[in-house]
Amino acid sequence: MSKLLVTGGNFLEGTIAVSGAKNAVLPIIAASLLSGEPIRLDDAPDLLDVKVMSEVIKSLGASVERDGSQLKICATNIDNIEAPYDLVSQMRASIVIMGPLLARLGRVRISHPGGCAIGSRPINWHLKGLEALGAEIHMDHGFLDVKAKNLRGTRIYLDFPSVGATENIMMAAARAQGTTVIENAAQEPEIVDLANFINQMGGKIRGAGTSVIHIEGVREFHGTVHTVIPDRIEAGSYLLMAAATGGDVLVQNVISDHLKPVLAKMEEAGIEFNEEDEGIRIRGNGNYQAVDIKTQVHPGFPTDLQAPFLALLTKSNGTAVVTETVFENRFMHVDELKRMGADVKIEGRSAIVQGTSCLYAAPVTATDLRAGAALILAALTAEGTTEIRGIHHIERGYERIQEKISRIGGKIERVD
């Protein structure tokens, strides 16, 4: 079993570069299925999840080749409508192939993704949206069989601005007959990147990044070259790690606008940083005030940075209340942090974090990828060497994390 050994006590110092966004590249790889011409994606992070998504579209007949940070995709010969259970069960995000595959071939069979560590995560809004566009959906021995002779544009109101549902509907509607309007759509930067990519292929999407998206269906999509946006969650994780160790780190390849709610909370906590031409520089002192956090959909505080921020708060001055409103069970990292001496109580959907002066090393397990980042952050500030298991979760979403943190002075080693 592979583990990370992280020894606390070093200041992080230097420059760290953020990779392309995992949550942007995954739906973009799926959207490549809309076109039969060659696609090149630049800044495509080399992550476990990206490998799984690449395998999923390869299993459908597409070709995918990696060349450094580029992915070359060609989906000319798509002849399979069924995504293999083995792959889909590894990564819930593979459900975003439903929209583009349905649009391209008129049918898709995919295993129902079921639950995961951070909640039951239903896909009812994805299905409701596809049904509104004219799809017929049947459940068949654990598989969803989705068929549509003709997708037709319509008006869809989402009960909640789900990121995945907005993406699936946007991709199906891009090739439907007529115009689709998604109301109460997700506004995350990854939605904007996906819309830009589809438009570069010939799509006609307006309003991505606002709560109302207009999609005029087109039949022909051509090839394109697209650069994936930087990963705001990876950037936020490194900013918080640098701050927690009292380090001086320039985090490069960041779009500050994507991190506004996080930077606002960092400022409130007393973390010093400068927005520079090349990125964001943290000048930490390791001594911060407790701040309350409530996760919300974009442009609110991102749920994916709740765990790392909570880990930083375990050593702040005072009591902080961290409320999770997006996912139902996203405090799995709390029990692990408590093993390292953190003082945290869960009350319903909130965690009450009482700052302590010292965390100590302990064997801990990453239960999901952001929980993994939280444990690394805590370990970098703890006394002794922390052993982190479950690192495949971390490798799903953080490219070469061990190498990147080592380069700026963190003591982190992977043992197999």
Which residues lie near ligand UD1 (CB under 6 A)?
Answer: 23, 26, 93, 119, 121-126, 160, 162-165, 186, 190, 303-304, 326-327
Shortest Cβ distance from residue 370 to ligand UD1 (Å)? 8
Do 61 and 78 form a contact (C-beta atoms < 8 A)?
Answer: yes
User: CB-wise, 53 or 344, nearer to ligand UD1?
Assistant: 53
User: CB-wise, 119 or 142, nearer to ligand UD1?
Assistant: 119
Shortest Cβ distance from residue 130 to ligand UD1 (Å)? 11
Q: How far apart are CA 339 and CA 377, in angstroms?
A: 14
User: CB-wise, 95 or 340, nearer to ligand UD1?
Assistant: 95
Shortest Cβ distance from residue 302 to ligand UD1 (Å)? 6
Secondary structure (DSSP) of 225-252: EEEPPB-HHHHHHHHHHHHHTT-EEEEE
What's the maximum distance between 2 C-alpha atoms anywhere in the chain?
63
Question: 304-308 contacts: CB < 8 A, separation 24 or more?
Answer: 304/233, 304/370, 305/233, 305/236, 305/237, 305/240, 305/262, 305/370, 306/330, 306/370, 307/333, 307/370, 307/371, 307/373, 307/374, 308/236, 308/237, 308/240, 308/241, 308/370, 308/373, 308/374, 308/377
User: CB-wise, 122 or 178, nearer to ligand UD1?
Assistant: 122
User: CB-wise, 20 or 284, nearer to ligand UD1?
Assistant: 20
Which residues, other chains included, contact 147 with Cβ-Cβ below 8 Å and sequence gap of 6+?
Answer: 106, 107, 135, 136
Do 201 and 173 form a contact (C-beta atoms < 8 A)?
Answer: no
User: CB-wise, 125 or 331, nearer to ligand UD1?
Assistant: 125
Question: What residues are annotated to the active site?
Answer: 116
Residue nearest to ligand UD1 (CB): 164
Nearest of 107, 104, 161 to residue 129 by alpha carbon? 161
Shortest Cβ distance from residue 125 to ligand UD1 (Å)? 3
SS3 (DSSP) at 130? helix
* Beta-strand runs (E) in 266-371: 272-275, 279-283, 293-294, 319-323, 343-347, 350-354, 363-365
Shortest Cβ distance from residue 166 to ligand UD1 (Å)? 8
Kindly report the backbone phi and psi dihedral angles of residue 110, in degrees, each rounded to the nearest multiple of 5, phi listed first. -150, 140
Shortest Cβ distance from residue 219 to ligand UD1 (Å)? 27
Shortest Cβ distance from residue 368 to ligand UD1 (Å)? 9
Helical (H) or strand (E) element with 145: strand 143-147
- Residue 167: C-alpha distances to residues 130, 189, 236, 328, 341 (Å): 11, 12, 23, 21, 40
User: CB-wise, 305 or 382, nearer to ligand UD1?
Assistant: 305
